[in-house]
Amino acid sequence: LPEAKDVARSRLDLLEHWLNDLRGVGLEQLPTPALLIDHDAMIRNIAKLAGYASSQDVRLRAHAKTHKSVDIARIQMNYGACGICCQKVSEAEAMVEGGIKDILVSNQVVGEAKIRRLAELARRARIIVCVDDGDNVDRLSRAATVAGSTIECLVEIDVGSARCGVTPGEQALRLAAHVAERTGLVFAGIQAYHGAAQHVRLHADRKERIEEACALAAGTVLLLRKSGLSCGIVGGAGTGTFQFEAASGVFNELQCGSYVFMDADYQKVLGENGEGIGDFENSLFVVTEIMSKVRSGNAVCDAGVKAHSIDSGVPRVHGRADLTVTRCSDEHAVIVDPHDTLVPGEKLLLVPGHCDPTCNLYDNYIVMRAGKVSDIWPVSARGLLM
Ligand SMILES: Cc1ncc(COP(=O)(O)O)c(C=O)c1O
C-alpha cells in the first residue's frame, strides 16, 4: 500500500508546479470548478473558536475530518488546539506525517490491518481511539503490545444519536474496566458526541438534547470515578452545539470541525436570537463559471455534484441573494436568475451545502488572500486507503 509520506511527496511536487502558474492570480483567472479558501476568513473562524474555548476553560481538539489538511491542522494547533481529531487511521497517518503529535481517532478502528497501523502510529505520536466493544479492545491491546506502543482509549457512550457507543452508566463502566486491565492500553476517558443534535435548527431544541447528553455523560463520569477510573478526557461537541457542552462543567474537550469553513446547511442552524451559530464566516467556496445562458430566467454553471456535495442541500450563491441553485447533475448546476443578469464566462462563488464531503472531492485547496492566490494546499489525507 502507498505510504502517506510518498503520496504527500508526489502531490507536493505537482502543487509546486501549479503554484508557479497561479500565484497572484485573481478570481477571474482561476480554473473552474475549483475549491477555494478565503484564508483570512478561515483564520478568523479558527481564532474565534480557540478564544471561546479558552474563555470557557475547555480544550479544543479540532476535527480534521472537515478539511483533511495538514496545513490547516497546523494552524489550528498554532492557535491553541490541544490536538486534532481524525475519523480514519489513514487521516491520522497523514497528520502525524505532517507533524501533528496528539491525535484522537474519534471512531472505532476494527480490522487487523487498520489496528496494526494504528498501533504502529502510536510509536510516533499520542494516539487515542474510541472503543465500544470488548473484543475490539483485546485486539487493540494485542497490537499495541506487539508494536511496543501505548494506545489511549475513550469509551464512547451513546448520548442520543443511536450510532456507535455503549449505553451510558454500567455498560460503559464494564468496558472502561476492561480497557484498564489490558496491556498496551490506557483508559483515557469517554467520548459523548451527539451527532444528531448538531444540525437541529432551533437553539432551544439543541439545548434540550445536549442537556440530556450532559446528564448521561456526568452520570457515567461519576460512576467511573467511584470505581477509581478517572476521565482525563470527556470529549464531544460539534459546531452546532459546542456552547452547551463548553458550559456544562462536564465536558473538557470540544471536537468541532465545520466551524473552520461553515457551509450553507450550518448557516440554517440558529442561535438563541435567530442569529447564526458562533458568528462564523463562510471561508470555503467552489468557484464556478457560467457555461450556458440560453433560457430566460435561468443559467447553467459548471459545478455539479462532482464539484460539491448535495447530501445536505444545494449550494448557496455567495453574495448574490437574487440567484438560487435549483438542481445539480454531474457537471452542471442550474441557477435561477430571475433578472437575467448572468452571462457565459462569468465566475461565481458557491457556498457548498456540506463542507466535509465537498473537500473530499478535491486534491487541492486554492488559498486566496486579498483576492489573489497566495498558496495551494493539498487535501493531505484524501484518497488514502484505510
Ligand atoms: C465524532 C465527531 N466529532 C466531531 C465532529 C465535528 O462536527 P462538526 O463538523 O459538526 O463540527 C464530528 C462530525 O461528524 C464527529 O463525527
> pLDDT tens, 362-381?
999 999 999 999 999 999 99
Task: Evaluate whether 33 touches 287 at the Cβ level (below 8 Å).
Answer: yes
How far does the centroid of ligand 1 lie from the alpha carbon of residue 98, in Å?
21
**CA 323 → CA 262, 282, 308, 315, 350, distances in Å?**
20, 17, 17, 11, 11
Displacement of CA 118 from its chain's centroid (Å): 20
How far does the centroid of ligand 1 lie from the alpha carbon of residue 106, in Å?
9
Distance CA(294)–CA(171), nearest Å, equals 62
DSSP state of 304: -
Find cell 483508559 and name the residue.
187
Res. 27 pLDDT band, cuts 50 70 90: very high
Rg (CA), the chain: 22
Q: Is the dihedral of CA 161, 42, 243, 60 positive or negative?
A: positive
How far does the centroid of ligand 1 lie from the alpha carbon of residue 63, in Å?
7
Distance CA(351)–CA(46), nearest Å, equals 18
Identify the bridge partners of residue 38 per DSSP, sorted by sequence position.
368
> Which residues form ligand 1's pocket by a CB distance below 6 Å?
63, 66, 85, 106, 193, 195, 198, 238-240, 255-259
pLDDT of residue 175: 98
- % the chain with pLDDT above 90: 92
Question: For ligand 1, atom 15, which residue shows the shortest CA distance?
Answer: 195
What pTM does this model have?
0.96
How far does the centroid of ligand 1 lie from the alpha carbon of residue 333, in Å?
28
Q: pLDDT tens, 281-319?
A: 999 999 999 999 999 999 999 999 999 999 999 999 999
Give the CA diameter of the chain.
71
Mutate to test the pocket of ligand 1, among 66, 239, 255 (most ligand atoms within 8 A of CB): 255
- Cβ neighbors of 207 (< 8 A, separation 6 or more) are 244
How far does the centroid of ligand 1 lie from the alpha carbon of residue 71, in Å?
19
Distance CA(193)–CA(160), nearest Å, equals 9
Average pLDDT over residues 226-230: 98
